[in-house]
Amino acid sequence: MSAAKIAEVRLTLEKTCALFGKSDSWIRNLARSGEITAVDSQSISGNGVAPNEYLLSSFPADVQAKFAREQKNSVAITPFAGPTLPLFAALPEVPEPVRLALDEEGRKEADRWLEAIAQFNDLKQRAKDGKPLRLPDGKVLEIKEDIAKYVAAQMNPKRCGRTLSRKLERFTGGRKRKQAGGYAGLARKIRSDAEKSRYYESNPDMAFLAQQKFLNEALSMQLAHEAVRRECRKRGKKPPKSYATTRRFLNRIPEGPRTLAREGAERYSSRCAPFILRKAPPVMDWWVMDHRQEDVFVRNRLHGHLNKDQMYRPWLTACYDWGSRKIVGFCFAPTPSSATIGSALKMAARQFGFARNLYSDNGKDFKKSARELAHAQLIMQPELRGLLSANGVQITSALPYRPRSKPIESWFARWSKRFDPIWGAAYAGNKPENCRPQCREAQRQHAKYLAGKRSDSPLPTDAEFIAGALEYIEEYNTTARLDCLDGRTPDEVFDEQYPPESRRSVDELSLKILLSQKDERTVLAGGCVEINKLRYEPDDESLGALDFLNGQRVTILRDPYNFGEAAALDERGRYVGTLHIQPFIEQSPGGRLTQDHIKAGMKRQHTLKRNYLDGLAALAAFGAAQGWMRECEGLVDRAVARTGTDGHLLADAAPGARGGPGPTRPRARQLQPAFVSDAVAEDQDFMSGVEIED
């Protein structure tokens, strides 16, 4: 499409707003002030009123240039019959080395003037061809002074026509054909003393004094300026002209030494120190673990060792897969410890197995956990094939006091900016000095709530906070499209490199070592134990083993942040079985659901009883096969063998007893059916008199 045809367009209000990047009210105000031209649309809206449309030719030059540079224009183009101005011709090509010779600000200014010069030349050529251009207000552009004035007025910010003429002369060399400045000549000329202070250049001793006060003594710029003036009076030297002279000089100090001197080495390391770029490893090659305290106040409803509604800031222990940026395990607790590390690691390993390497913090909690894992690897590796593989989970500690050495820190920064602030008045800020007044007021109101002066608290419960955190982590894993992953989500990368069908399984027994809380209890009926008013029952696989220890002491291992399951060890520390909290059975309407639970419990009882009966029957069969007699039978046999009598002593031992043959081995009795009904007895009597022919 030609430039002349594009110029004969008018745009709707919505598309004009999109082109300017402004609101509809701002566009209407421009039209009312006469800066752009509004005309009635040729179409009628539903209410019978013709909406306004805006002439593209009345827009500023930079907006027209934006429209012209669009390769695929989504704006509907409507021909306009009235007199309009065409867009300028294509911009001249500028070699890339020439552009790069200017800084960013210089390139922006040169581009603005280059567009204005291109429009000026285009309009000038149209007038030279004998086709004077007419503006929408009826004015005719015939001479180049009017054209320059018109084009310069449309620039943002507005300029005068004479300035445009000087820029054009600098660009082309003018009539006298002086050396043309070209593209670089359109940028603002940099002064030879730019970024320099003439006073402090000529007085280096005062420059050192100002830097000493500002950097090493951490004084403000105003106090440093006053110190320089006092020293100048003492030495009889001319002081700086004004405070602005000292301020501009100190502002030119590079950020590196300024940050190191005034904010400390830690701030310098995180903001200014050079760093290396590390290539992301494959999925499940490295897990990174660390603690972080949340910037949100909550009230306790989950932890028994804290008072009810006690205010605290929860800690997050996270396990982060470096290759996919996926959070594979986590644990929230009032205080971080090796127990929270084990809980997060257990969550990750149960779903995905163990990674090849574990990259942890340098804190004492992680050192303790590393020692525990190393000890487990030496002692229990034959039994724990899933906890640490034959290669071993290599544990690497991060450099102390080097946050950049842990890749999880970038995810913590994302978390602190996107999740913590959504909790409103409970958000405490990332620093004590950044705590908002709303948060301090919420803390005062919570104190009144604890004192019984309020009926509610503005702080969320820890249960609500953790529920929201679980959803945020799930949404991050499934929906967050990261630039470092080429626009893919962590789950997409994780599933692609580590598909579900190829994931390594972990023996549940290997995870019991991560249960850090130990309690000794006596096994009750059914293999159950009670801890803190919670009754734990064994699962189906462990029912027999634990019930066999009824009345004995066992050691119960639990996760202090997940009391739902536990493991039992005998007195020698050998694994016995797994337990879980026994649920309460509620009475359901109609009783059907309750009956199902009762039947399931009875089935467990019958299974356990049948196992015992089978064992007793096997024991009896083994005794019969060995020819073992009952104790009474053996006693009688021993009596006959010792006296050799035939029963004559019976009368002496039991007067009145009938004489008879001596004691002999009792004859085996003929066994009768355990149950014979009356009908069967009658049939037997009837059939006894029936003769059957041969």
Indicate the domain borders of the chain: 3-69, 96-186, 198-271, 286-502, 515-612
Pick the residue with more confidence: 520 or 84?
520
Tokens standing for residue 611: 């196992």
Q: How confident is the model at residue 427 (pLDDT cuts 50, 70, 90)?
A: very high
Residue 585 has what pLDDT? 67
Topology annotation, domain 515-612: OB fold (Dihydrolipoamide Acetyltransferase, E2P) (2.40.50)
The CATH number of 198-271 is which of 1.25.40, 1.20.120, 1.10.10, 1.10.8? 1.10.10
Q: What percent of the chain stands above pLDDT 90?
A: 23
Residue 176 pLDDT more than 70? no
Percent of the chain with pLDDT over 70: 72
Closest CA to 488 of 477, 500, 499: 477
| CATH architecture assignment, domain 3-69 | Orthogonal Bundle (1.10)
Evaluate if residue 211 carries a pLDDT over 90.
yes
DSSP three-state, residue 370: helix
Q: Span 122-130, mean pLDDT?
A: 78
* pLDDT recorded at residue 326: 94
The total of other beta-carbon atoms located within 10 Å of residue 419's CB is: 20
H helix count then E strand count, the chain: 26, 18
pTM of the predicted protein model: 0.53
Q: Mean pLDDT, to the nearest integer, of 399-428?
A: 82
CA distances (Å), origin 314, targets 291, 336, 462, 525 = 11, 9, 8, 39
Task: Determine the topology of domain 286-502 in CATH.
Answer: Nucleotidyltransferase; domain 5 (3.30.420)
Q: What band does 346 get if pLDDT is binned at 50, 70 and 90?
A: confident
Mean pLDDT score, 556-563: 76
CATH fold match for the domains 198-271 and 515-612? no
Do the beta carbons of residue 134 and residue 140 sit within 8 Å?
yes
Q: Which two tokens stand for residue 63?
A: 């907006």
User: Is the separation of the CB atoms in 424 and 438 below 8 Å?
Assistant: yes
From the centroid of its chain, how far is CA 654?
93
Question: What is the DSSP secondary-structure string of 46-66?
Answer: TTS-PPEEEEGGGS-HHHHHH
Average pLDDT rounded to a whole number, residues 124-136: 73
